[in-house]
Structure 1
Amino acid sequence: MRYTPTTLLVTGGAGFIGSNFVHHMLRSDPAVHIVNLDLLTYAGTLDNLSDLPAPDRHVFVHGDICDSSLVTQLFDEHRIDTVVHFAAQSHVDRSITHPGEFVRTNVNGTFTLLEAARAAWLSPQERDPLEVARTRRFHHISTDEVFGSLSPNDPPFAETTPYTPNSPYSASKAASDHLVRAYFHTYGLPVVTTNCSNNYGPRQHGEKFIPTVIRNCLEGKPIPVYGDGQNIRDWLYVDDHCRALHRVLTHGQLGETYNIGGCNEWRNNDVVALICRLFDERIPGRAPHERLIEFVNDRAGHDRRYAINNAKITDALDWGPAEDFESGLAKTIDWQLGWTQ
């Protein structure tokens, strides 16, 4: 049965993936209205929302997902029927130096949202459980990092892979995933969860791996690569991720988890080499950009390999990535250069 969202509370909607999702939903669904709650920390900026396709259907609220009074007010004032929960501290290096911030936002913040949704949707004054299941949805956005690290010959992560988080970031996300699952089984809150692989694309914060490589190519600065550069990630273009989220939100089965991946495993060394080649083509006067590569000490707890098995979402919901890695990176670089909108 198709679910039709009407008024979405999007948390973290000024961040990278959240803002791309806001753009996607306003562009794709002319009936939807979005309330966008973001604290505007280092990862979020209003610049990401400056060119929305339908700004009249978007309300921005500067606030904290841990503020239960504010969250409750938004549910009541805007009659929220759908939550799409992106808001999270997500940078692994920061989680190593400031783990408390990650527990507060990722665990306590998720708990605050779940409690507000439970009070608004499952109170005695609300309609019967079957009606709630048909007309409400809490979509929790998670990560493949909750599954830990893969060795070279291990099969990709599936939805049934045991959780073995290796950093304060991934541990806090794992905790939030378990809370969401518990609220479905204990209270009947209508939830779905998605675990995605590494995203890249327009509007990504500059401290992340691919934006750092692009920026340093532009500025002629050394490109830092951790360790031996052999760490492997499954890369997913952000627009493909947004299409998958939309599909899960409207067609996913309640209580289920869906892995979203690009089926696109690349070693960090090869990612950097590809970006350098694309820059050589665009700015040949500075070639070769590979001369900027500089290996640096590896970070603590650096997982060796991530890979996603996305057979479930492909088979059940008829989704697949549209971009291959080179086409997606080309779009990302051209966006950063200002050559495309």
Structure 2
Amino acid sequence: MERVLVTGGAGFVGSSFVRHVAAHTDAAVTVLDKLTPAASPESLAGLPEDRVRLVVGDVADPAVVDPLVGEADAVVHLAAESHNDNALEDPAPFVNTNLVGTFTLLEAVRRHGVRLHHVSTDEVYGDLDLDDPARFTEESALRPSSPYSASKAGADHLVRAWVRSFGLRATISVSSNNYGPWQHVEKFVPRQITEVLEGRRPRVYGDGRHVRDWIHTEDHSAAVLAILERGRIGETYVVGADGERSNLEVAQAILRLAGRDPADVEHVADRPGHDRRYALDAAKLRTELGWEPGYHDFEMALADTMHWYADHADWWRPRKAAVEAAYAARGQ
């Protein structure tokens, strides 16, 4: 694979994957990104210009997508609207990008016979009870419970249908919650970090006991590259790092790392339909492809992430006021 097209490659997870590919392969990368507020061209700065180029455009626009797919040996599809709170305010962009965009890309991939990897989310499975010992696997039923997760589940169904009906050379990965540098401040971890950096209390929805399976974005990127290179066509791979922690525990860890009282947390109005627990079993990925997470100490990696945000206030602070105003309007 000498030429890789990455949709959404200026976003948080997408830019991490582009940097990983640039560091670990000789491939040339074309990034297709609409540059919504969640994207950040700065995240691609410093990468070799002869190997990484940015094309600004919409993944739902066939006139943009088709020629880029035609140039590529492989496509990694990361473009997505992904913030649940925004989906509750207006689901339309999620349907357009996540469903129409995926359909547009699939048709271009079908025309050109290009290898595709589609990146999904554990939210397509719905949620688990807090006291349920089970974890989601590749065989778990899709039971999405939000406009965002429903649009991603629909995209997953489209990919599987195109594999079976048209013989597409495609794989799917289902990832747990990512954290790390360059994540937009509307997301949970950077929001709490930046609240603490500005001397305020971190905020959690409801009782804060909602559990997520946290993975560092660099580990996720390594998993996606392994699947792209060695994954079995038509297969789905769950990507998780055994990082189950409640939102309250994460907020308390941020406070501890900042030298503050871990109990100094503000509880705010819960999100409608808020899933209680996600947990993933990545045994298939580990045994078939030999992938293992490199970030085993969550608090150490969280501390590194906090240092990154402290050092890049000029990047996130201009975005912060609008994010907090939107949350305040919702009482959160």
**Deviation at residue 326 of structure 1 after TM alignment:** 1.2
Determine the C-alpha separation between the residues in 2 that align with 1:36 and 1:96: 28
Is 1:60–2:38 an aligned residue pair?
A: no
Is 1:14–2:6 an aligned residue pair?
A: no
- Could you say which residue in structure 1 is the equivalent of 2:327? none
Residues 208-248 of structure 1: CA distance to partner in whole angstroms, max 9, x if unpaired? 00001100010012321100011100000000111111111
Is 1:41–2:36 an aligned residue pair?
A: yes
Structure 2 residue aligned with 1:24, among 3, 20, 23?
A: 20
Is 1:104–2:96 an aligned residue pair?
A: yes
Determine the C-alpha separation between the residues in 1 that align with 2:249 and 2:8: 31
Structure 1 residue aligned with 2:63, among 69, 72, 80?
A: 69
Rg larger for: 1
**Deviation at residue 335 of structure 1 after TM alignment:** 1.4
- Could you say which residue in structure 2 is the equivalent of 1:115? 107
Give SS of 2:171's match. strand
Would you say the 8 A contact 2:184–2:190 is kept in 1? yes
**Deviation at residue 290 of structure 1 after TM alignment:** 4.5
**What RMSD in Å do the two structures reach over aligned CA positions?**
1.2
For 1:216-255, list aligned pairs within 5 A: 216-255=195-234
- Could you say which residue in structure 2 is the equivalent of 1:149? 127
- Could you say which residue in structure 2 is the equivalent of 1:140? 118
Is 1:288–2:261 an aligned residue pair?
A: yes
Determine the C-alpha separation between the residues in 1 that align with 2:167 and 2:193: 45
Is 1:159–2:138 an aligned residue pair?
A: yes
**Deviation at residue 338 of structure 1 after TM alignment:** 2.1
Is 1:179–2:175 an aligned residue pair?
A: no
Determine the C-alpha separation between the residues in 1 that align with 2:277 and 2:21: 32
Would you say the 8 A contact 1:24–1:242 is kept in 2? yes
Runs of 4+ in 1 over 2 A off after TM superposition: 287-291
**Deviation at residue 289 of structure 1 after TM alignment:** 6.4
TM-score by length of 2: 0.91
Would you say the 8 A contact 1:217–1:289 is kept in 2? no
Determine the C-alpha separation between the residues in 1 that align with 2:306 and 2:46: 19
Percent of paired sites with the same residue:
46
- Could you say which residue in structure 2 is the equivalent of 1:84? 76
Residues 122-155 of structure 1: CA distance to partner in whole angstroms, max 9, x if unpaired? xxxxxxxxxxxxxx41000000000001012141
Instruction: State the aligned residue count.
Output: 310
Is 1:299–2:291 an aligned residue pair?
A: no
Determine the C-alpha separation between the residues in 1 that align with 2:266 and 2:69: 49
Give the letter for the 2:117 counterpart: H
Would you say the 8 A contact 1:9–1:34 is kept in 2? yes
Would you say the 8 A contact 1:68–1:112 is kept in 2? yes
Determine the C-alpha separation between the residues in 2 that align with 1:262 and 1:204: 19
Give SS of 1:56's match. coil
Residues 300-337 of structure 1: CA distance to partner in whole angstroms, max 9, x if unpaired? 01000000000000111111111121121122112112
Would you say the 8 A contact 2:43–2:182 is kept in 1? yes
Would you say the 8 A contact 1:234–1:263 is kept in 2? yes
**Deviation at residue 59 of structure 1 after TM alignment:** 1.2
- Could you say which residue in structure 1 is the equivalent of 2:280? 308
Determine the C-alpha separation between the residues in 1 that align with 2:291 and 2:117: 17
Determine the C-alpha separation between the residues in 2 that align with 1:328 and 1:315: 25
For 1:182-193, list aligned pairs within 5 A: 182-193=161-172
Would you say the 8 A contact 2:28–2:51 is kept in 1? yes
Determine the C-alpha separation between the residues in 2 that align with 1:67 and 1:330: 40
Would you say the 8 A contact 1:279–1:289 is kept in 2? no
**Deviation at residue 55 of structure 1 after TM alignment:** 2.5
- Could you say which residue in structure 1 is the equivalent of 2:303? 330
Residues 10-66 of structure 1: CA distance to partner in whole angstroms, max 9, x if unpaired? 000000000010001001112x011100000011011111122x2310111000001
Give the letter for the 2:33 counterpart: D
Give the letter for the 1:198 counterpart: N
Give the letter for the 2:283 counterpart: A
Give the letter for the 2:266 counterpart: E
